Amino acid sequence: MYGMSGPYPIRGSVALPEAELMWRFSRSSGPGGQHVNTSDSQVELRFDLARTEALPEVWKQRALERLAGRLTDGVITVRASEYRSQWRNRETAAVRLAALLAEATAPPPKPRRPTRIPRGINERRLREKKQRSETKRGRSARDWG
């Protein structure tokens, strides 16, 4: 079960470059008994987006623009401390980073091409609208009495 379950795919054949990941471990806050005070189970994963060679240039530019608010000197940081085991937190952090990069490097959506409503459909809608209004006019109490 242990041992990193390596490459974390971003999209297509591009994966997180294991060599460019910087890990830092610290003690998690929160509950957890005696063991938690001595084990560094919180994981901080840093990835230098500005200097990486692993991503295609276009993707890199796209990610730098979209993640601008989260970057510190071109470095993106992901923290994980949900689990009491450092290994599971490492997995979580790596998967989270891969997902973040996948989203940030995705191509922009195709622009929407406006479509015209066929004339027949529009005419039918207006006809039905007129009919409805006639029905409702027929209900008004004016004509009674």
Domain 9-105 classification at class level: alpha beta
In this prediction, residue 126 carries a pLDDT of 95
- Residue-wise pLDDT for 72-96, tens only, equals 777 778 888 878 777 888 888 888 8
Give the residue from 67, 53, 142, 54 showing the smallest Cα distance to 103.
67
Instruction: With a cut of 90, say whether residue 127 has pLDDT above it.
Output: yes
Return the closest-CA partner of residue 8 out of 106, 82, 100, 76: 100
Which of 33 and 70 is assigned the larger pLDDT?
A: 70
Cα-Cα-Cα-Cα torsion 9, 14, 19, 21, nearest 10 degrees, comes to: -60
111 class by beta-carbon count within 10 Å (0-12 exposed, 13-18 middle, 19+ buried): exposed
Write down the domain spans for the chain: 9-105
Identify which of 86, 105, 2 has the alpha carbon closest to the alpha carbon of residue 45: 86
